Structure 1
């Protein structure tokens, strides 16, 4: 075999003319003596690890035609001396760490046809003098920080076939001169802040166009009908913009089109035939991806969807307003590996034909109105990785045939009407590693011991079911668990000691010792060394007990059994005697406390224990001593205020019978006299260690003790709190035996427990109406509230209704996102928090959000080694949250969003964030198991300026295959 030589010499002389050291694993700096090779015509050092500055001596190589330094670690500026290399035709310094401006001197190179400066840290705008490079055919400048606008002079590059300007913080509009570049076959301006609309004749301007990337900008208007003239186009990306209107383009003429992305816009007219254009895709042989999620499409999916290309592998319609049934013809698309129809209004059943898609990897029908059983045919999808069916009305049992999906990483069936046992077969699918979510169903029986097979599972949620029996000790084998939710079931017995084997992770927040506190958790083990926790000991074998230990345990068991038998006998006897007794304002089973006990619990109502106060009274932290010590919150009523008496009665009446995980739990009350003989009334609540939402939102305004930085909420925490509060309102308005209206919803009345779960408190103004069956009926009973949060109709004398709580909730949500109180000085006259947020939608939302959210995001981005375009998801979620807040706080009560729709939309927002987070976490695990990133995972551009768009839907489907496809072809 002939050995490859990195050097080539001339035929007439022994002088080096070509040096090709591509991908040789070279390190260190590039010697300036390379400038002495004056006969050099080609120098390629790409794909190495050179560092330091590019030697200015390269300017001495006046015969040089090709210079390729891409994919190294070169620093400093691009040397202006390269302008002396007057024969240069190919210059590639992309994928380095170069800074500064592009040298004006290089725009005088007369023969330059290929210029690539992408993926550096260049600034100072795209030089308008590049328009002087009239021989240029390919210009790749993506992935820098140029800023400014696209120079009009680029329209002078009449020979240009490839123009890549993505990811440069560019603003303004596309200059009209660009539309004169008729030879373009690649045009990419993605990931900028460009705006404006496309001209009607857009489709006639680039007859050779194959790749068009407009995604992730702020373009508006409709898609021109002339786009149907792009007869050679293969890739059309318009997602993450503000395009709107009905799509009437005849895509049938674009037979070469493989990938079309229209998601995250405002497409749709509200007419029932919004999706008719899908029929124009019929019988294509090339179409591979069709992305249409997060728009305003209405209507039904036509049966002709089954006639789409058999090569289609990616099809998403999620987060629209599509209704009707899912066509059974969807089963004809046999090469689909991702199908997304979540967040719509689909009814009917899941078609059994879904089992005809053998290559399916990700399937989501969540957050619809689907009913019936989960078809057994889903078990045919042996390659399935993620399955989302939550938030529907599915019934029947969890199919045991799901166990055939041996590659399943994520299964979400939450919030349905599923019943029966958890199939043991399902828990033998050891691949389950991201999440198993069966919450909010009607599942019964015990948690099978087979749960221990899921050793790599990160999240398990079986909460709000009817599960019973003991928690299996095998749960301790799930050593990768980070999130475990089992609340609101009927489990009994003790927590297994085997759960001691669950360790403190080394990743996530636990990688930074200064960001967490584990005070008081002496029995934790593992974690990073800075936490100074003992090592976790893994038990590799079972040790035999001594006979003396066995005898001691046996004797103890007999004694405990006898004691329990005696206890239950006495308990049943007492229960029969008291079954018919009447109940005062609070049930007799509630703890009884005296004034003396409360005085002692609060150290004489010491100011050191004061945690809040208002017009109706003061709240103290106290330690009650009963059978044991426990911390409580004690609200002492100010009886000089007459309304306080009514408040006391209202809270007792409201909290007497209602129970919900998002309502503050009342422990007891005290109605007595103090030591001076004056009346004394107090309410004793469950203590909320994390205080009020008010404190977390506005900590910097209220504290100066150096703890402000810790008392901040990230976006996911705020979404969780918003969901918690909405769940509590839904319970009060729709699920209680009597309708309850809170009347005073505001951040200071939202309390957070140790796990940051939100609870609504202070029912002093609450009204409840046993005679009302319709939650939208109203009552003329007077209402009070807090300025800024009170619905405007109450100020006009309108009657109380659930709409008032929804208004308060909307203002609360906007305060959580903007960080601004509705009573701030900036809000005067007609300028209020609602209008402040409404006028920012959608383009200026990032200007009004709480700066803390932006700081958190930037910090997370700096700490992330794999760029997955999280910022786009953050912006999208923030816009959705502001939309919800605005829709809840409209002036017209009937125009406000319903609580059920609020919960639906919030779950969509949360799921979007969580999916990206969990997918990314798993992707990182895959990378950890397979070596380094190899420099492949990036939101930047490849050699010809293509953005490697690795959003959530791509990361798990083919983290390596997708990249090979892009890099290999381009």
Structure 2
């Protein structure tokens, strides 16, 4: 006889497992429906096959009993499409993570049926619409992250029912209205991030009663209200408090010190007033940012405030700028944390108390604004380091009162005006760094009085006129850098009297005349760079000029050498033998040649009026290819490219195609070159060809593509044919290197490679903007137009859209109303008919940089409805940006450096931490450069010279760490 209870249990288990089996098929069908409605460009869901168990599919995790889907984790796979409502059939789902993809449309309200959900991660997509109030029924939900989307509307009050919620992230959306006070009921909430929305009204004080809060960020909204007087008593676990860029008012309560775990306080850009409270108990504090409020003080209150920070030994950033602080700045500021990196008290009414200061070093930060006129109080100062910041305005003449100054570093800022002559009255100065600014005017003759000066770097400015002869009296000089300015005239004749010189860099100026023979006697010189000037005459033959590795004379077309071998090695002309003979014979030869040329020109002009030419070739010389024939015909190109075979096609552009060609010349030379063949069926192709020829025929720079020749003739069918023959770049263009089709087998550009490439591109554009006459605007900067040679050195190519800027202010420049650039890289003002400008190139360069270091194209689907790559990045804080970049940039830098530097920085683990931080710091600094180049208003953008200087400083910091 069968036992009745046993029979009942057997029936129950049969039904239960039968239900599980049936529901397993439901899970499988729901997943397959999801795949069918989702675009998968990288084929990431290739393992989702009907012939395999769905629990083995990528991103899917199942329960051990019954194979029910418990988690669907598919972040960062470039998936797109709408979120299918079928997801609600995964009734056992605990975790859903589809973050960092390109999903669009609304959030399915049917997700509320998944009562077991613990985690919903949908951040960094293109989701729109409102937040479904039905999600408030998910009582087990612990993480809800919809940040960085396009959501609108209000936060539903029903979210207050999410009693288990620990993380609520809604930052960087378009949410609006008031924040529900009911959120204060979320007693388990530890992370609340709702920054960068359009919230308004009173901030609910009930949120300050959530004792479990660790992170609170509501920056960049329109919120109002006051901080409760006792709020610090109720937040014992709070570590991060971000309330900046709102409309908070009232006083900052003293109770803030009771939140003793606070590490980061940012209350900047609000309406707080009254005195700054003491911060006695905040031993873990690293950032205290109170700038741009209405805070006030007196001498005694200043003493209390700075004294209260004595225990904050981890403090790195202290910003109390742009307030109404008054009274003396106490000498106790010298006792602030030894880890302090940024200290800003600018734009207040503080006085006194720094008379004994001897060393002020605040370089390599992000300090901005004008440098206060406080030098008169720093009479004992001997070291002033303010370089590599964003200071603007003029250098105050009062700096001449710092009579004991030996080191002055104001380089890599945005300073303008002239160099105060008072600087050159500091007789004890040994090091002067003013490079990378926008200083104008001349170098005063007073420089000759600086007998102790060992280093002077004034490169990358806009200094002009002659180099003063008095510089010959700076007998202690070892390093003299004056490159990339507008100096003209000749090099001082007796500059070789500076016997201690090790480096002399006068490159990229407008210097004329001969190279002084006195340079031959410099015994300690290691680097002499006179490139890209207008020097002429014979190159000296003795001393340092016998070692080709120590000097650079490129870009001086009138230099010559008496040695045929040297002339070939240096890329200069061969002089007529003997100086005296040259002086007599050369003018005669030139006169005869000129007369003959004039006669031939007249005959040629008459002949062309009788008969049209059918074939014309324009040669564009390039020093590294002097050995190659300049007359390349259509037939030569056809043979070299194997009749323009598809396997030799290496790229396609807006006006034509680029082929790889192997040329076998009659002189025995063999060369692999690139050939850009114009598609003349396009109406503007011929104009593009002419513009590119005109732009390239007179410019030459190491980071510009080198053009061998052009060909303009007829093909074998009698059709017009135009092509440019250029240096071949074996590593392709930048676009295919940062967006390889195959991530696994494609080469990976390291952090330092990307940084060097960015500097190469900046150098090329800097040359076009500042060293060409007239200046040239490229108008189509993008990764596809940056080519990489065998050494991964970058070369800017494709000048088909280039514009020449008139230096005559009264002459109209061409409008860009019909400008054909590349979508995503075109400066916003061009869309409104703005004129072609250097600022437009800077914008394109900034977008290119952001793309290089984030890995996101500006045309990505996620950037729409007014959201651009630049705006997207600027809306993030530093930590969010680092999460957004390719993690391999950091990992690769760490791996390649830690083994060789372990001895310098401790154990392997410590080394890893150190180099990770260095890489993250580098990326953050580079992103800032990119953002400064992509400001909406052209006048707010950096110049390309500023960007180049900053990037070089970043690389220098990385290489010397």
Q: Give the TM bin, normalised by the shorter chain.
A: 0.5 to 0.7
Aligned match of 2:876: 840
Query: CA 1:487/1:610 → structure 2, altered by over 3 Å: closer, same or farther?
Result: farther
Aligned match of 2:927: 882
Contact 2:407 2:429 in 1 (8 A): yes
| Residues 1:784 and 2:784 aligned together | no
Shift of 1:817: 1.7
Query: CA 1:277/1:334 → structure 2, altered by over 3 Å: closer, same or farther?
Result: farther
Query: CA 1:702/1:682 → structure 2, altered by over 3 Å: closer, same or farther?
Result: farther
- 1:248-647 matches, within 5 Å, as 248=295, 250=297, 252-253=299-300, 255=303, 267=319, 274=322, 277=325, 279-281=327-329, 308-311=354-357, 313-314=359-360, 316=362, 319-323=366-370, 327=373, 329-330=375-376, 332-340=378-386, 343=389, 346-348=392-394, 350-351=396-397, 353-354=399-400, 356-364=402-410, 367-375=413-421, 377-378=423-424, 380=426, 382=428, 384-385=430-431, 387-388=433-434, 390-397=436-443, 401=447, 404=450, 406=452, 408=454, 411-421=457-467, 432=478, 436-442=481-487, 444-446=489-491, 457=502, 460=505, 462-466=507-511, 468-470=513-515, 481=526, 486-490=531-535, 493-494=538-539, 498=544, 569-578=588-597, 592-599=631-638, 610-614=649-653, 616-621=656-661, 633-647=674-688
**1:855 is paired with a residue of what secondary structure?**
helix
Query: CA 1:484/1:778 → structure 2, altered by over 3 Å: closer, same or farther?
Result: closer
**1:393 is paired with a residue of what secondary structure?**
coil
Contact 1:264 1:294 in 2 (8 A): yes
Query: CA 1:366/1:468 → structure 2, altered by over 3 Å: closer, same or farther?
Result: farther
Q: Which moved further from structure 2: 768-777 or 376-385?
A: 768-777
Shift of 1:818: 1.0
**2:441 is paired with a residue of what secondary structure?**
strand
Query: CA 1:239/1:888 → structure 2, altered by over 3 Å: closer, same or farther?
Result: same
Q: Distance in 1 between matches of 2:869 and 2:534?
A: 41
Q: Distance in 1 between matches of 2:351 and 2:427?
A: 20
Contact 2:513 2:536 in 1 (8 A): yes
Query: CA 1:196/1:360 → structure 2, altered by over 3 Å: closer, same or farther?
Result: farther
Shift of 1:493: 3.7
Q: Which moved further from structure 2: 358-367 or 559-568?
A: 559-568
Aligned match of 2:852: 816
**2:675 is paired with a residue of what secondary structure?**
strand
Contact 2:465 2:487 in 1 (8 A): yes
Contact 1:723 1:907 in 2 (8 A): yes
Query: CA 1:383/1:492 → structure 2, altered by over 3 Å: closer, same or farther?
Result: same
Aligned match of 1:138: none
Q: Distance in 1 between matches of 2:467 and 2:378?
A: 33
**1:714 is paired with a residue of what secondary structure?**
helix
Shift of 1:790: 4.9
2:897 pairs with one of 833, 854, 860: 860
**Structure 1 unpaired stretches of 5+:** 1-148, 151-170, 181-188, 505-555, 922-970
Query: CA 1:778/1:672 → structure 2, altered by over 3 Å: closer, same or farther?
Result: closer
Q: Deviations over 1:737-796 (max 9, x none)?
A: 58x7655331111235678665432233456687996999874753434444456788x8
Aligned match of 1:717: 756
Contact 2:373 2:398 in 1 (8 A): no
2:721 pairs with one of 676, 680, 687: 680
- 1:191-206 matches, within 5 Å, as 195-196=240-241, 200-201=252-253, 205=257
Contact 1:887 1:896 in 2 (8 A): no
Query: CA 1:640/1:332 → structure 2, altered by over 3 Å: closer, same or farther?
Result: closer
Q: Deviations over 1:104-124 (max 9, x none)?
A: xxxxxxxxxxxxxxxxxxxxx
Q: Distance in 1 between matches of 2:835 and 2:658?
A: 27
Q: Relative contact order, CA 8 A, sep 6+: which one is greater?
A: 1
Shift of 1:614: 3.4
Q: Distance in 1 between matches of 2:471 and 2:273?
A: 53
Aligned match of 1:125: none
Q: Distance in 1 between matches of 2:576 and 2:387?
A: 55
Q: Distance in 2 between matches of 1:501 and 1:767?
A: 40
**1:672 is paired with a residue of what secondary structure?**
strand
Contact 2:242 2:265 in 1 (8 A): yes
Aligned match of 1:906: 947
Q: Distance in 2 between matches of 1:500 and 1:812?
A: 42
Q: Distance in 1 between matches of 2:731 and 2:679?
A: 25
**2:957 is paired with a residue of what secondary structure?**
helix
Shift of 1:415: 1.4
Shift of 1:714: 3.4
2:711 pairs with one of 670, 677, 700: 670
Shift of 1:716: 3.4
Query: CA 1:289/1:464 → structure 2, altered by over 3 Å: closer, same or farther?
Result: farther
Aligned match of 1:849: 885
Contact 2:445 2:468 in 1 (8 A): no
Aligned match of 1:693: 734
**2:532 is paired with a residue of what secondary structure?**
coil
Contact 2:430 2:454 in 1 (8 A): yes
Contact 2:276 2:295 in 1 (8 A): no
CA RMSD of aligned residues (A): 5.8
Shift of 1:391: 1.8
Q: Distance in 1 between matches of 2:547 and 2:288?
A: 48
Contact 1:729 1:899 in 2 (8 A): no
- 1:95-110 matches, within 5 Å, as none
Q: Deviations over 1:328-367 (max 9, x none)?
A: 7536432352242765565455426535331543432653
Q: Distance in 2 between matches of 1:561 and 1:898?
A: 54
Query: CA 1:573/1:342 → structure 2, altered by over 3 Å: closer, same or farther?
Result: same
Contact 1:387 1:411 in 2 (8 A): yes
Q: Distance in 1 between matches of 2:595 and 2:315?
A: 64
Contact 1:331 1:353 in 2 (8 A): no
**Structure 2 unpaired stretches of 5+:** 1-189, 192-212, 217-228, 244-250, 551-574, 622-629, 906-910
Query: CA 1:714/1:478 → structure 2, altered by over 3 Å: closer, same or farther?
Result: farther
Contact 1:250 1:277 in 2 (8 A): yes
Query: CA 1:602/1:418 → structure 2, altered by over 3 Å: closer, same or farther?
Result: same
Contact 2:660 2:675 in 1 (8 A): yes
